[in-house]
Structure 1
């Protein structure tokens, strides 16, 4: 059967209908019913399939688009599953407990805002989760900061900035792996490229917190919460600076250009062995930890909330959401709907700088309309992939823009899942903490400025262009064969 994708032109107004309906259903499901974003994506996929069918596409074409989207997500899915294993093994091996234990002891009352930002950054970098960091260390930080007379909005801003810095830069983060996987970018190349916008944003945030914090320097800090956490960590884990060699080993492997997946698998193995040899666990418990996650009952609610996580099972929500999103995006792309939408946007975004800026703004718009951080990465990632290739831009420009505009702006939207979570966890409304979440709005601005200036905008070499062209031709041939051409 001949590929109808090349014969049927989808009108722009029809192309945006599935997107509008998906966004509307997403808003009702997430905000009103507090449900998950899976069903809205399924509804959007059904609407897109129906419109494509009415335009003349055969079901085989539509189904192939869905399968193609899933195939593109498989590398990211594999990484996400391994990340779940490494989180569990590092918790079980006492590695994360050791990092948190030493991190908590650097709190200085006169520099509290800076310190809590750094601590949240360290913890989030270690576990790859801003939510878990805010729900544990962040909650403790809110109580400590407010007891010193620091406004809740300021403390929340510092907690959010640090938590999202670690989430954005951690190889264990699901959003980081999504952005890299969905764009076909090497994970550690993606993280390295993000440093050009994220590190300046963090420095700017720390300067602001230093200035803001000086007026509260005379406050007395209540050590009760911190000492309770430290005591629980000491009683529940073997704490040793030697365990810090495990994350150091991963850093060394990255510096030696070891690919992401083997490096992460090595991290899983080291954590697994630490749980048995250092923490005194048995092999059966260590194996179960990899699948089910680590389970602890320390008597300290914050410690239990932080460490009862990880494992393959815990990542299935993210994996299934990725598949649903890629089915939706795959149908939109394969039936020409994405092309119709992007064509309208590219009429304005003609230069490399304007394309990157459009990506950042589109990711923020998706956060505000689809109410879900993951969708702000997955949907624009699929929409703009071909446009970046056509302009000779390396995929790591796209992956960085997705995180600058998607990951970091999600807390600014009160009806976004991230904004809802933060309000419930830190008890501060997004409109109150927005001015103090410096990193989260500084990085997108820096990214847009750098895009227009042309600083650290990476273009493909001639060899990379040829390699990409050959790869694309191979994919096209495979698609033609699967469609019976």
Structure 2
């Protein structure tokens, strides 16, 4: 006799999801635990729930494997990003871009300049946290001297850092969003421009309006940082060759893994050209543990002591745990049961994009974890995008705009907590001035309406 397949009702599925989110929210937000252990805990609860419902261990293991499999390539990409960042600092590529960025500082247009420079550094470094903890602190000090409200400066810093993070090929959340939707990384980034460019333009206009005042100040702080970079690193247009390779490969639509490998190799060769005394042991240590800057300037050393495979292991392990959790939710048909219930409502692209965006926002609000705000809605609505025959690049754009970016303005979220602790400005204070994270999900939902019109037109 064929065994009866375990069934999960809609009420049970909804109850399980709410309980899991409540536990994650309590442990991550309330108890301020690192998300790894709370996710592992709810994974354990869900695993034994499945066994209690009648799933075999083989079925449970198959669910875990199926959940983790889509994350294998993104995890490899994460590790290669660590290598790339380390080599780009070693070769002087990232310091050179920083110097050129500093040189566009404008006193008259301070807030727009902060936004643009943080965007450039964010794209280059691929880390909003690093940008905020270095450029953010520097700009906050300069802005204070110029007489700008700290909340305004913090808002411009956050907007720029997360804009850069959202479109950087080095960003873990950018790679994660592309990986969840199984979309080519550079195709995802190019599609992001439909929301990023309008949000960028509107943000620039907003910061010009806020900061359009004639003030004069001594920018010796910036000059000192530029001099430190010039004395400590090879600052030359030659070091931008790896950046050119990155853009060339993007134009040629070369996948991320070979692009990152070639970019890292080119940077390593440049490092040997500039410093012939460099040995393999030093390079190997840098690739593994990251570059350690010793310029004597604490802020510069903090910014440029990073990269390496080890720096990405924490993110990689979190992704594995979250994907394993998602795999069980799918295997036990908890996600499928919820989707089936709302299938009649989600009958067009506009509703699907809107619901996906709202789901990412709600995960941010309930849990405060940016990875989960990408993974859970991404895994939940992926099949719906297939059913409606919508290119999944619109899924990846939606979860990136409403996931990672929005996390920065949630006071109890991981990003919001980090920003408040680093800049010493309340999230509620800088929230009205964080134009980019506020605009992105709105523009995404509006563009979802255009998808509806396109579908009708094609019919």
**Counterpart secondary structure, 1:310:** coil
| Distance of 1:458 and 1:112 partners within structure 2 | 43
Corresponding position: 1:90 with 2:88:
yes
Corresponding position: 1:163 with 2:137:
no
| Distance of 1:56 and 1:314 partners within structure 2 | 40
Which residue of the other structure, out of 254, 258, 264, is the alignment partner of 1:268?
A: 264
1:432 maps to: 429
| Distance of 1:237 and 1:124 partners within structure 2 | 19
Which has the larger displacement, 280-289 or 304-313? 280-289
2:198 maps to: 200
- Conservation of the 8 A alpha-carbon contact between 2:123 and 2:165: yes
Alignment of 1:55-94 (within 5 A): 55-94=53-92
2:297 maps to: 300
Offset from partner CA, 1:32-76 (integer Å, 9 cap, x none): 443211111112212222222232211211121011111121011
Per the TM alignment, residue 456 of structure 1 is displaced from its structure 2 partner at its CA by: 9.9
1:286 to 1:458, Cα distance in 2 relative to 1, 3 A: farther
1:351 to 1:274, Cα distance in 2 relative to 1, 3 A: same
Which residue of the other structure, out of 438, 454, 479, is the alignment partner of 2:451?
A: 454
Corresponding position: 1:442 with 2:426:
no
| Distance of 1:457 and 1:289 partners within structure 2 | 49
Corresponding position: 1:174 with 2:201:
no
**Counterpart secondary structure, 2:108:** helix
Which residue of the other structure, out of 224, 227, 230, is the alignment partner of 1:231?
A: 227
| Distance of 2:454 and 2:446 partners within structure 1 | 11
| Distance of 1:110 and 1:42 partners within structure 2 | 50
Corresponding position: 1:330 with 2:327:
yes
Corresponding position: 1:351 with 2:316:
no
| Distance of 1:8 and 1:388 partners within structure 2 | 27
1:440 to 1:457, Cα distance in 2 relative to 1, 3 A: farther
Corresponding position: 1:127 with 2:120:
no
Which has the larger displacement, 241-250 or 189-198? 241-250
Corresponding position: 1:242 with 2:263:
no
| Distance of 2:12 and 2:194 partners within structure 1 | 39
Per the TM alignment, residue 376 of structure 1 is displaced from its structure 2 partner at its CA by: 0.5
Per the TM alignment, residue 254 of structure 1 is displaced from its structure 2 partner at its CA by: 1.2
1:426 to 1:3, Cα distance in 2 relative to 1, 3 A: farther
| Distance of 1:456 and 1:194 partners within structure 2 | 20
Offset from partner CA, 1:218-276 (integer Å, 9 cap, x none): 22233232122112212211111221222012101211222221111111101111222
Corresponding position: 1:413 with 2:410:
yes
| Distance of 1:3 and 1:332 partners within structure 2 | 21
| Distance of 2:343 and 2:268 partners within structure 1 | 49
2:38 maps to: 40
Corresponding position: 1:313 with 2:273:
no
Per the TM alignment, residue 98 of structure 1 is displaced from its structure 2 partner at its CA by: 0.3
Offset from partner CA, 1:318-371 (integer Å, 9 cap, x none): 100000001100000011011122233434322111101111110111111111
- Conservation of the 8 A alpha-carbon contact between 1:275 and 1:286: no
Per the TM alignment, residue 455 of structure 1 is displaced from its structure 2 partner at its CA by: 7.6
Q: Tell me, which stretches of 5 or more residues in structure 1 are unaligned?
A: 462-485
1:22 maps to: 20
The two structures have a TM-score, normalised by structure 2, of: 0.95
Per the TM alignment, residue 289 of structure 1 is displaced from its structure 2 partner at its CA by: 0.9
1:287 maps to: 284
1:347 to 1:45, Cα distance in 2 relative to 1, 3 A: farther
- Conservation of the 8 A alpha-carbon contact between 1:450 and 1:456: no
- Conservation of the 8 A alpha-carbon contact between 2:122 and 2:164: yes
Which residue of the other structure, out of 174, 186, 199, is the alignment partner of 1:188?
A: 186
| Distance of 2:455 and 2:224 partners within structure 1 | 48
Q: Tell me, which stretches of 5 or more residues in structure 2 are unaligned?
A: none
- Conservation of the 8 A alpha-carbon contact between 2:119 and 2:164: yes
1:365 maps to: 362
Corresponding position: 1:252 with 2:214:
no
**Counterpart secondary structure, 1:299:** coil
Offset from partner CA, 1:434-477 (integer Å, 9 cap, x none): 11111111111011011012289799x9xxxxxxxxxxxxxxxx
1:182 to 1:2, Cα distance in 2 relative to 1, 3 A: farther
1:323 to 1:457, Cα distance in 2 relative to 1, 3 A: farther
- Conservation of the 8 A alpha-carbon contact between 1:238 and 1:279: no
| Distance of 2:342 and 2:427 partners within structure 1 | 29
Offset from partner CA, 1:112-162 (integer Å, 9 cap, x none): 011110000000100100110010011101111121111111111111111
Which has the larger displacement, 22-31 or 333-342? 22-31
| Distance of 2:291 and 2:27 partners within structure 1 | 31
Per the TM alignment, residue 278 of structure 1 is displaced from its structure 2 partner at its CA by: 1.9
Offset from partner CA, 1:375-434 (integer Å, 9 cap, x none): 101111111111111111111111111101101100121110000000011111111111
